[in-house]
Structures are given as structure tokens and as C-alpha cells.
Structure 1
Amino acid sequence: MITIFQHGEQEPPGVILDILKEGGHEAEVVPLYRTGEVDPAILPDRLVILGGVMSVNDEKEYPFLSQEKALIRRCIADNRPVLGLCLGAQMIASAMGCRVYPGIEEKGWNRVSSLVPLPGKPVPEDFFVFQWHRDTFDLPGSARLMVKGERVPHQMFSLGSALGVQFHMEVTGEIIARWGKTLDEPQREKILSDTRIYLDRSISLCRETVNRFASMENGRWQ
């Protein structure tokens, strides 16, 4: 069973559920924004951590964050695959003792560079990803940086059985349009225009990454 932690109603799994279903994998979405806690009995075979509007440092306002970090550490120690997206990547870094702090806000499609081959991308290359974040993070000492951004360097890293992805590879066109309603019209139209160009490639990367995550046998991304 693949467990998916959802932190907000407006931050759903997007295409991830469809990809898992296509591969014949069972998944359960846990709405932490409703439950307000991580069930102490949960020890997932594989864990997906989605985005959210809160900071990983908001443990006082969201007590389940500390419970979630403890579970992340346990999963990594047990070599259970973990995939963190945006807030999820920051949660992995924070769980491993690294600083998460305000950085350059990124909203929309931005160019990044892979430093190593990625699932479905046999050679390093530049490509565009969808960003929607304020915070950034320091890398754990034993982590491997896999994708670097032009303005925010830490965009994807691996650490044992965990993969942290700062950008939103799970988004659909509908999700992007909904998030973009908070922006002024020129910025919103630019994002929607870019979405028509880059979304299919983003979903392709998500499919390759999620399929790798769902079928990992040795429990390590590296």
C-alpha cells in the first residue's frame, strides 16, 4: 500500500493517483488537514508527501508536522521509499535536521538543470518545471543534488530511500488554473500559456518518477 499525505484541500495528488492506478498500485490518501494528526499505527510501505500552504516550521500551529517528520525518519531508516513534493521535499530536509527558511518566491514555469540522469531522462539536460513556493532548504550532508535551479538551487535531491522534489510535477492544468486565480492577469496568462507548452513533459517526468518510486526494490534512489 502506498500512503499519500495531503496537507490541504487545494493541494491534491493530481496525476499521481492516475499513474499509480495505471500501474496497478493501491494507494490511500490521508487528509492530514482534516485528521490533524498522523496515526501512530501508520508505517507505510511507501510514502508520498504532498505540498501545502504551511511552513515545515509551523509545528505549533500544525502539530502533525512533528509526527510526520518522525515517520519520515523512520521510513528512511527502514529503507522504505519516500517521495516528497514541494513542502514534502522541505519536510524530508527538516526531518533530517536541515534548515528550512524563506527564499526566493517562485510561481510559474522555470528552467532547471538535471545534474545526473533522471527517470526517463538518460542524460542531464535543461527542462521546465512548475513552481509554487516561498521557502527553500539546506541539503542534508549525505544527500545528492540531482536537479539545480537558476535562482533556487536545491530543486531535487536523493537521500537513501527518499527523493525530495521542490517543484510540482503532480499538477494538472486544472490545478494550475485554480492556483493562478490569486495572481494578476498578466502573470496568470503567462503561466497558462507556458502550461500549454510544458505540462505534457512535466507529467511525463512525474510518470517516470512515480513508476520508479512504486517499483523500487532495494529502497534506495542513489
Structure 2
Amino acid sequence: MTQARFTTHVIQHVAFEDAGVLGDVLRERGHALQVLRAGIDDLSVVATHPADLLVVLGGPIGVYENEAYPWLDAEVDVIRARLEAGRPVIGVCLGAQLIARASGARVYPGTREIGWAPVQPTAAGRESALAELESAGWNVLHWHGDTFDLPAGAQLLASTAAVPHQAYAIGRHALALQFHPEVRPAELEGWLIGHTVELGKAGIDPRAIRARTVEIGAGVAAAGRRMFARWLEEAGL
């Protein structure tokens, strides 16, 4: 067996929202992944034994629900320590919101976006790894109800009309994505099952998301793979 060149900690909040194609790219690039379950596993290892990369995935809770979910404070603390050390981190959806909170920015309820739709890149976004999404018409999977203020010093990379802060970078070491380019289309059914209550409350028919996944899911996933690979290459990972 080939020895891993890098190590990656992955903080996962719900089982069906995993690293997906990002995990595939990381393994192909020689990363050994250690998955840590938020609220269950001890996250102090992220600070005491820092990996080459930290990936913070999505989930259905809000960063501001720390009284109901007190472990969120510890998660923010380990992310803050990593950011202050300038160590590489990627955040997706809730992960992007946690990076924002750890950076001192406000996180709060926003406009709910669920389903496949394009983002609008900024000029900086077109010069970044996000440029790989252009091949898929800038389409991505949205699944969020919260938003955040842009952290001080962060560079905005993409927006939508309803949610201006869709992606941002902090220096060269942090990439935060409100949307989900990591999703494998073949596994989206798990999302439809896991989020059935949310879909019902929002009046969204899962058949519409399923049909659109068949149309564009594979192309979006391929673009997401290239985006993550480019960012990792530029980060030396």
C-alpha cells in the first residue's frame, strides 16, 4: 500500500453529507482522511494534532444554535485556531458559516435556496479555482437557509441575487463555499430522504430535484472535482 503523502481531518455533521467528490480527489492526491463526527467525536485532535488540511462539511443546524448544540462552540474554537495559524481549510455550507463565525463575522437566517441553480462569479472568482465551474454553466447544488456577513479581509468569489455571499477566500489558505460542489449525483437520493421534512415545509417536490440531477448532476460533479483539484494544487496539497 502506498504511504499517504498528506493527512486531512474531515468534520462531518450528518452521515449523508460526506466529502463526496472532494474526498475522491483528496485520496487520489495521496491524502489519508480521518472523519470526525461533530457532537460525537473529540474535535480537539484538530488542534492538538493538526492535519495538512481541514475540511468542514454541511449540516442542517445553524451556527447560532450553540445553546441547543453546545459542541458548536468547541468546533468554532478549533477552526479559529487553524485560521489564525494560516493552515489550509475548506468549508462547505455549514462549514463556510463556521469559518465565517470563527473569523468574527455574523451568521444568521437568510433566504432559503434548495436545488440546482447557477452562481454568479466575481472577477476574483473567475481568476480562482472556481473558474472550473464555468464548464457546468456555473450551476451548483444549493441547500441552505442561513447566510453570513463576509469576514474582514475575505475575498468574495461568487454570489446569487438572493444570497450575495456564496463563496469566499481568506488568503490562500481558506476556501468557503455556501453551495455543495462535493455531491456525487448518484448519492443525492440520501439528501432527499434525509431532508424530507425540510423539503415538505418548503413546498419543494423531490421529483423536480431528482429530474434536474439526471440532466446536469454529472457535469456539475465533474466541474467540482476539477475545482477542488485546482485549489489543492495551488495550495501545495
2:185/2:218 contact within 8 Å kept:
no
Match of 2:176 among 164, 167, 170: 164
Q: Percent identity?
A: 35
The equivalent residue for 2:15 is 9
Q: Pick from 7, 30, 36 the counterpart of residue 36 of structure 2.
A: 30
1:92 aligned to 2:99?
yes
* Residue of structure 1 equivalent to 2:208: 190
- The answer on whether the counterparts of 1:37 and 1:64 sit within 8 Å (CA) in structure 2 is no
- Tell me, yes or no, if the aligned pair for 2:118 and 2:140 is still in contact at 8 Å: yes
Aligned to 1:63: 70
Per the alignment, do residues 87 and 173 of structure 1 end up closer, same or farther by CA in structure 2, a change over 3 Å counting? same
Q: Which amino acid is 1:210 matched to? A: F
Separation (CA, whole Å) in 1 of partners of 2:229 and 2:23: 11
The amino acid of 1:12's aligned partner reads: D
| Aligned length, in residue pairs | 219
Q: Describe the superposition over 1:79-138 as per-residue Cα deviations: whole angstroms up to 9, x where unpaired.
A: 211100000000011111111111111111122111132327279795211011110111
Structure 2 residues not aligned, in runs of 5+: 1-6
Q: Is the 8 A contact 2:133 2:223 kept in 1?
A: no
Q: Which runs of 4+ in 1 moved over 6 A?
A: 122-125
Contact in 2 for aligned 1:114/1:124 (Cα 8 Å): no
1:44 aligns with 51
User: Does 2:143 match 1:132?
Assistant: yes
- SS where residue 136 of structure 1 aligns? strand
Map 1:67-216 to 2 at 5 A: 67-115=74-122, 116-117=125-126, 118-119=128-129, 121=131, 127-160=138-171, 161-181=173-193, 182=196, 183=199, 187-216=205-234
Q: Is the 8 A contact 2:133 2:227 kept in 1?
A: no
User: Are the equivalent residues in 1 in contact too, given 2:63–2:107 (CA < 8 A)?
Assistant: yes
CA-based RMSD of the aligned residues comes to 2.4
| Residue of structure 1 equivalent to 2:3 | none
Contact 1:48–1:82 at 8 Å: present in 2 too?
yes
Q: Distance in 2 between matches of 1:186 and 1:131?
A: 13
Secondary structure of 1:54's partner? coil
- TM-aligned CA distance change 1:73 to 1:105, over 3 Å: same
| 1:37 positional shift | 4.7
Q: Which amino acid aligns with 2:182?
A: E
Look up the SS of the partner of 2:166 in the other structure: strand
CA spacing shift, 1:134–1:45, aligned 2, 3 Å:
same
Shift of 1:186: 6.8
TM-score by length of 2: 0.82
Per mean C-alpha deviation after superposition, the further-off stretch among 3-12 and 193-202 is 193-202
* CA distance in 2 between partners of 1:37 and 1:178 (Å): 26
- Looking at secondary structure, tell me which structure has more helix per residue: 2
**Structure-1 separation of matches of 2:145 and 2:29:** 33
1:140-159: CA deviation from partner (whole Å, max 9, x where unpaired): 12111101112211110001
